[in-house]
């Protein structure tokens, strides 16, 4: 008799499982959990709440609008992931941009993978999945690593295995959190790259970090120019004596050569102004092409 009832419930589809209070699924060990967990189902978008463990703290309205237009045309290509909280109650694990964009255009349902997890597992899933995204800024990634270590109690080795990154890569990101908060904000807003941040972290004094930061913004200094300034400051020279304009000149010259030769170029300069120009090539044909471009100036 029990088997018959079970078949009848399963025969009504996944919606029957979601609405049946006697067969509530709150754990992977519950009956019928394999029929629901890990499957893609259309969920009522109003039954989904946002994830309080979301690693991303900034959502650009312009990007959400562009995604909404894409969803209007193509639909939702990648389902969101949710965890089941209770009967007809779900919480986002990942996919908040898709969720926000869908709500903005008035969608009533959204395709979703259903998971069953506790708060700690949800935090770990959200952090690990979001770290894999390409559009996170370096500070968001660093904060996610820090939360996994502090709140999930992972070692750097365990974290390395979870996210598929080298321990040295993780350490480099987390070191960025030692930068002055103003500089961290600059990185989050796109004024600085991770390379700039890694150079600045070698300066311990916050005041000097900020002084160099202001020079980077005012003169649009490259990572290479920033590294040279940092080296000189660490030797006790003032920032004024580092002659940032001269560094910009070498950087511009490097870019001009790159564009003209259509290949990577590196200019190495000593403190006395002597230097070398390095032009790598991958084959004899590459070298011939470079030589032809140089001979055109004869």
Hey, which of 83-92, 156-165, 264-273 has the most confident mean pLDDT? 156-165
What do you get for the CA distance between the two ends of the chain, in Å?
95
Higher pLDDT, 106 or 235: 106
Residue-by-residue DSSP string for 126-141: HHHHHHT-TT--HHHH
- Say what percent of the chain tops pLDDT 70: 71
State residue 34's pLDDT score. Answer: 56
Whole-structure pTM value: 0.50
Question: How many angstroms separate the CA atoms of 278 and 9, rounded?
Answer: 71
Question: How many angstroms separate the CA atoms of 226 and 213, rounded?
Answer: 9
Mean pLDDT within 209-218? 88
* Element spanning 284, H or E: helix 284-295
Q: Which domains does the chain have, with CATH numbers?
A: 2-117 (3.90.1530.10), 256-298 (no CATH)
State residue 11's pLDDT score. Answer: 30
State residue 179's pLDDT score. Answer: 92
pLDDT tens-place string over residues 228-247: 889 888 887 766 544 555 56
State residue 140's pLDDT score. Answer: 85
Confidence of residue 197 (pLDDT cuts 50, 70, 90): very high
State residue 7's pLDDT score. Answer: 34
Mean pLDDT within 88-117? 85
Contacts 24+ apart (CB under 8 A), 17-23: 18/87, 18/88, 19/87, 19/88, 21/87
- pLDDT for residue 76 is more than 80: yes
pLDDT tens-place string over residues 157-183: 888 888 888 889 889 999 999 999 999
State residue 275's pLDDT score. Answer: 76
Query: Residues 35, 96, 124, 254: which is the catalytic one?
Result: 96
Would you report the helix, strand and coil content of the chain in percent, each value rounded to 5? Answer: 55, 10, 30
Do you know the residue count of the chain? 298
- pLDDT for residue 225 is more than 60: yes
State residue 198's pLDDT score. Answer: 94
State residue 25's pLDDT score. Answer: 52
Crossing angle of helices 223-234 and 206-219, rounded to 10°: 150
State residue 12's pLDDT score. Answer: 38
Task: Look over the chain and give the mean of its residue pLDDT values, rounded to a whole number.
Answer: 76
Residue 204 catalytic?
no
- pLDDT for residue 190 is more than 80: yes
State residue 29's pLDDT score. Answer: 47
- Three-class SS string for 75-114? CCCCCEEEEEEECCEEEEEECHHHHHHHHHCCCCEEEEEE
State residue 105's pLDDT score. Answer: 92
State residue 2's pLDDT score. Answer: 37
- pLDDT for residue 220 is more than 60: yes
Strand, helix or coil for residue 195: helix
Contacts of 213 (CB under 8 A, 6+ apart): 180, 182, 183, 186, 192, 200
State residue 106's pLDDT score. Answer: 92
Question: How many angstroms separate the CA atoms of 109 and 129, rounded?
Answer: 23
Confidence of residue 199 (pLDDT cuts 50, 70, 90): very high
Question: How many angstroms separate the CA atoms of 191 and 218, rounded?
Answer: 11
């Amino acid at each position: 008799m029990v088997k018959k009832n079970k078949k009848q419930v399963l025969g009504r589809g996944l919606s029957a499982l979601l609405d049946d209070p006697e067969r509530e699924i709150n754990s992977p060990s519950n009956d019928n959990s394999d029929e629901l967990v890990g499957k893609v189902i259309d969920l009522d978008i109003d039954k989904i709440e946002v994830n309080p463990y979301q690693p991303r703290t900034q959502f650009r309205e312009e990007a959400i609008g562009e995604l909404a237009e894409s969803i209007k045309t193509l639909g939702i290509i990648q389902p969101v992931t949710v965890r089941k909280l209770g009967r007809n109650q779900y919480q986002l694990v990942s996919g908040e941009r898709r969720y926000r964009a869908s709500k903005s255009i008035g969608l009533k349902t959204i395709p979703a993978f259903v998971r069953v997890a506790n708060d700690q597992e949800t935090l770990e899933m959200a952090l690990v999945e979001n770290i894999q995204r390409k559009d996170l800024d370096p500070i968001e990634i660093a904060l996610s690593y820090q939360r996994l270590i502090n709140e999930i109690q992972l070692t750097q080795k365990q974290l390395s295995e979870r996210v598929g990154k080298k321990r040295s890569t993780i350490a480099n990101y987390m070191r960025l959190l030692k930068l002055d908060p103003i500089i961290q904000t600059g990185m989050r807003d796109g004024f600085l790259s991770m390379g700039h941040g890694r150079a600045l972290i070698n300066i311990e004094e916050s005041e000097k970090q900020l002084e160099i930061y202001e020079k980077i913004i005012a003169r649009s200094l490259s990572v290479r120019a920033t590294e040279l300034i940092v080296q000189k400051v660490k030797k006790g020279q003032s920032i004024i004596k580092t002659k940032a304009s001269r560094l910009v000149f070498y950087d511009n010259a490097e870019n001009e050569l790159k564009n003209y030769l259509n290949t990577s170029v590196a200019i190495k300069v000593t403190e006395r102004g002597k230097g070398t120009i390095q032009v790598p090539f991958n084959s004899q044909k590459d070298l011939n092409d470079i030589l032809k471009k140089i001979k055109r100036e004869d």
